[in-house]
Amino acid sequence: MSITKDKKTGRFDFDFDRIVGAERVRARKRLPKGWNQSQADAYDRQESARLYALVVGIEKQHYTIENAVEKYVTERVPSLKHGKDYMHALALMFPFYEGKPLSALADVCKAYQLRVLREDGTKLAPATIKNRIRYLTAACQYGWKHHNMGEVDPAARVTVPTVRNERSVYIDRADMLRLCRACGHQETRALIRIGFYSGMRLSEILKARIVGGNFVLDDTKNGDARIVPVHPKLRTCLRLKWSSQFTLNYWFVKARNGIKRPDLHFHDVRHSAASAMIQDGIDLHTVGAVLGHRSSASTQRYAHLATDNLKTAIGRIGKRA
């Protein structure tokens, strides 16, 4: 028997410690208050049989999504560049997957898409929902691949919302020069020019090193190093030392208001570099390489800008060389 009774509390304990085959199996649990000897004995028979079956392979262990998340957070997240974002997203989703089996991952993700709201009662953006679901599926796949949690990929049936992320806010070179003239801060003017002529993010410009006529980025958003040639028009911008990002953002906001473009963000200057290249006939693959996209899917958000180039290409069909 694996049942003992605590004389002080009067409660029963299940204490299983046996050698099954070549493996030692241990399990301990305090049984609910109020159980009598008969109930404790019944639990002993049922749980002992389950543990024997588990060891000899008659019954497969049932893992929960929490089991996978716990392993992922402990072993994998600390090494991720944006690990804090993963932790935050998984914590926010906890009420949806609490106690749910790993096999129910697809249903959990579907329920999350239908019910999740912001604190103010409005629905989250599809891109935010998609990212959080990807974090959760990554955790579950980690448990499946590295800890044998289940026999099939738990993310196989997971669906995510469609995200329409084509970029629609751009400036051309004339607008960029107007923006610079409206800016009363030399360093911010230089940042605007560098962003337009390189396609780099603000954070990348601030961290870039100049080596042999190239911007060298040792650590980018996607984790890969990148080299961006310095445009000839940027030679005079390279001797500056940057102020704080808060100061730079402050002057950028004043400049955009000065040209009556309150919808403009610094990141749109990067998109404008992509627009300028595409309108000049540069293919999407090359544009993606300049911007540092790891996946071609990221560059496809600019595909709608190539319409004029497609018309030109179609118009050349059947013409003599």
pLDDT tens-digit readout, 236-272: 887 778 888 889 899 999 999 999 998 898 888 888 8
**Under DSSP, is residue 54 helix (H, G, I), strand (E, B) or coil?**
helix
Top mean pLDDT of 4-8, 46-50, 137-141 is at 137-141
* pLDDT attached to residue 94: 93
Provide the CA 59 distance to its chain's centre, in angstroms.
36
Dump pLDDT digits (tens) for 146-161: 988 887 899 989 988 8
Domain residue spans of the chain: 3-56, 65-147, 173-314
On the question of pLDDT at 223 being above 70, the answer is: no
Dump pLDDT digits (tens) for 14-64: 998 888 767 788 888 999 988 999 998 999 988 888 887 777 665 566 889
The percent of residues in the chain predicted with pLDDT above 90, rounded, is: 33
Query: 307 or 46: which carries more pLDDT confidence?
Result: 46
Helix axes 307-315, 266-279, angle to 10 degrees: 0
Nearest to 202 by CA among 187, 189, 192: 192
Average pLDDT of the residues in 131-140: 94
Helix axes 83-97, 105-115, angle to 10 degrees: 90
* pLDDT attached to residue 221: 64
The residue ranges of DSSP E strands in the chain, in sequence order, are 3-5, 12-20, 23-30, 209-211, 214-217, 226-229
Work out the pLDDT band at 177, boundaries 50, 70, 90: very high
Work out the pLDDT band at 301, boundaries 50, 70, 90: low
Average pLDDT of the residues in 97-116: 90
Give the residue ranges of DSSP H helices in 121-172.
126-147
* pLDDT attached to residue 141: 94
Q: pTM of this prediction?
A: 0.52
Residue 219 backbone dihedrals phi, psi, to 5 degrees:
-145, 110
Mean pLDDT of the chain: 84
By mean pLDDT, which of 15-29, 126-140, 158-172, 270-284 is the weakest? Answer: 158-172
Work out the pLDDT band at 300, boundaries 50, 70, 90: low
Listed in sequence order, the residues at least 6 apart from 167 whose beta carbon sits closer than 8 Å to its beta carbon are 268, 271, 274, 275, 301, 302
Query: 163 or 67: which carries more pLDDT confidence?
Result: 67
CB 27 within 8 A of CB 47: yes
* pLDDT attached to residue 312: 64
15 bridge partner residues: 28
For domain 173-314, say whether CATH 3.40.50.720 is its number. no
CB 11 within 8 A of CB 5: yes
* pLDDT attached to residue 27: 87
CB 234 within 8 A of CB 193: yes
* pLDDT attached to residue 319: 61
Q: Which region holds residue 163: left if phi is over 0, alpha if psi is between -120 and 50, else beta?
A: beta
CB 265 within 8 A of CB 169: yes
Amino acid letter for position 183: C
Nearest to 255 by CA among 310, 172, 188: 188
Whole-angstrom Cα distance, residue 92 to residue 145? 24
By mean pLDDT, which of 4-8, 50-54, 95-99, 190-194 is the weakest? Answer: 50-54
Average pLDDT of the residues in 163-179: 79
